[in-house]
Structure 1
Amino acid sequence: MRLTKTFKAFFESEKAGGLLLLFVTILSLCIANSPIQTQYIAFWETQLGPHSITHWINDGLMTIFFLLIGLELEREIYKGELSSIKNAALPIFGALGGMVVPAGIFLALNFGTLTQNGAGIPMATDIAFAIGILSLLGNRVPTSLKVFLTALAVIDDLGAIIVIAIFYTSTIAFVNLFIAIGILGGLFILNRMKVHSLFPYLIGGVFMWYFMLNSGVHATITGVLLAFVIPFGDGGKKTSSYKIQHFLHKPVAFFILPLFAIANTCIAINSNWHEGLNHPNTIGIIAGLVIGKPLGIWLFSFLGVTLGICVLPKDLKWKTLIGAGMLGGIGFTMSIFITLLAFKNDGEEVITYSKIAILIASFIAGTAGFFWLKQTLKKPIKKTKKIEII
């Protein structure tokens, strides 16, 4: 299986970005529990206009992240691994299982409680972290595993976006929502009229984001919607879609996601932090990510292949898929993002304990996935030079 240049660029940027995310997360946690703890946490809560710095990052800059996710998804649908039912079926089934089973485990522990709204938290996979861990295994990783995990994570993020739109929207200001939809319709007309200049789409996207922000629907949804009205054409280097996608790779991987990680992991961990881990909410998050993710991904993939809907690539084994499922349990970015939405009215303590649970679960999932794959993947055969004796 050959990888396209676009996919290679995406994989490489996400690989380095994942390692950077790990570094800044550890750094942020250290500073948040240092002598300058109060000033550090207060900085991220500083008001800039109507919102805090953290809010602008979460609702503003993360829209750009979702724009990139939308562009990647569009490319995969038109030209990549999701362009045919045969290729797309396995990661689709895997992603579905990786959302349903973790959410089911969480709800089994939290149904009827004040924290049942957090069912979407263990459904997400962090692309950057998952690929960053996979990259540590070097050239022993088969191409099909890279493609499977990346496609699964992209579909997973799409599922998370749908969950955000449906379940984490409280009150809706319909006038603002209709204006945002109207702008989207106008941009779609420009697309059909073959207007390829990026300028009107980006300006329209900014206005659409503003009205979406004030509609009650989470503003980051704008990023995905905008991605699908930007002209794709033949997907070549001269197309608008390719240009903006190529441009966004590095800013998202090396600036936006690290900034999100720093702002949202400035967690002051007190001496009794472990007491929050025996709550059904935190148990549900950890169990959902560590157990539910690999179980759901493997089980649904197995059912899909058994029913003849999916095909397991020749260089993938079922035990390898378990390792991919473990890496799928690294929730981090999207899980924290959904936590902020799910518990925005439930107090800082619930959010803090949920973040700690996500960090613990992501660490366990990433470590377990790395060592599992290290044991199950074959080491590459080293080519030896022939020595001629004269």
Structure 2
Amino acid sequence: MRKILILLVIFSFSYASVDDLLKEASFEITEKRILKDFKIAFESYNEGLYNITEKSCLDFLKHASLNDKNRGKILELLAFTYFRTRNYWAMEHYVEKELEKGKKFLDDDTQKRVFVLLYNLFLNKPKKAKKIKEKFRYIWDIKYKKLDLPDELKDFTPYVNIFPYNDTRLIGLNKIYFSDENQTLYEVGYKTDMGYDELRESNPFLNPFDIRKGEAIFLPRKRLIPALKPKSDEIYINLTEKRLYYIYKDKYVITFPIGIGTDDAKSPVGMFKITEKRENPAWYVPDNIREENPNLPKIVPPGPDNPLGIRAMRLGYSSYLIHGTNKNFGVGLKVSHGCIRLYNRDVKRLYDLVPEGTKVYIYEKFIKASYIDNKKYIEIHAKTKNEMEKLNLNIYAKKINENYLKFVKKERRGFSYPLY
């Protein structure tokens, strides 16, 4: 009897171990399967094979857990695929349901990006678009923590052009804007204090000259300060992203879109100081500009026809200025002869805070990267094919799938996000 009991105990243990082995083997098979689906999904999308992309994405979502680290990437890819192919039925029955299912697991920016594609696809079906907008209100109608500003900063708009500074390079929060009328992307930029190019690169499917009333626009306000070690009361400009940053008293980051020099008259790169400040400046037209346009006078007095706008600050002892403009559409573009242009309302606010002697660092960075809270953040601003080919994202993410990195370079530009 005793021998029989011992054998039964051994037999029961062997069965338990077999069950464990079967479970472990099944888990490994599933893991390999979803990793394969992930690879094929992004590889086929990059090659324009959207039917294969769809199948691989759906297989991944079927077998991966809700908290799988790659689930948000796949859902965003599926939304891009259905938007490109104008697949209304699938967007509604797969993407919409997955977005709702992943409410607690997907990061905020992925939800915003997917929502914009989902909502805009149905914009020509008003009843459905309205239902989507209300259903996912928690994604776009975010209540930000109140930002108490001192008197000298009361003219700034919290979470638009001023953000709390937390001693890291990462600032800001991405947002969704709904167009209040039929307009152009230039007009949207002015209303939201953004530049044309930064809106264009983060919203690749928008027609910049035909923004429809009600259309959702992704506002890329989560950024990395260009300087590796930012310091208080210094100005940082990144020409590639066409944006200026000013750290005020180690408590706030003030940031504005800018216009920069053309490819034939590039803005300078390097370290400068503000050596002169002028209100309502007259424009002493440089000889080289008068050669281009002989009809220009030697001096353009202050007023609506003055391209320097209402304020100007000189960079070192050069002819380059940080100044306002009488042409708002130039903010966010390569349009100047090398000077840094801001909207008049922005240059006035900056002018009132910045003293002479302030250091100004000007960079030309196509990619910014920083390791924050155990996550590797990147931000891409390259636009031309040549610029994109030069970007080697593998040095930032050696363990990440190569096909996903190709997707990132193409479709995830203009804002900061963690690669892992």
TM-score range, shorter chain: under 0.3
TM-score between the two structures when normalised by the length of structure 1: 0.23
More helix per residue:
1
Q: Which structure's relative contact order is higher, taking Cα pairs within 8 Å and 6+ residues apart?
A: 1
- The structure that has the greater radius of gyration is 2
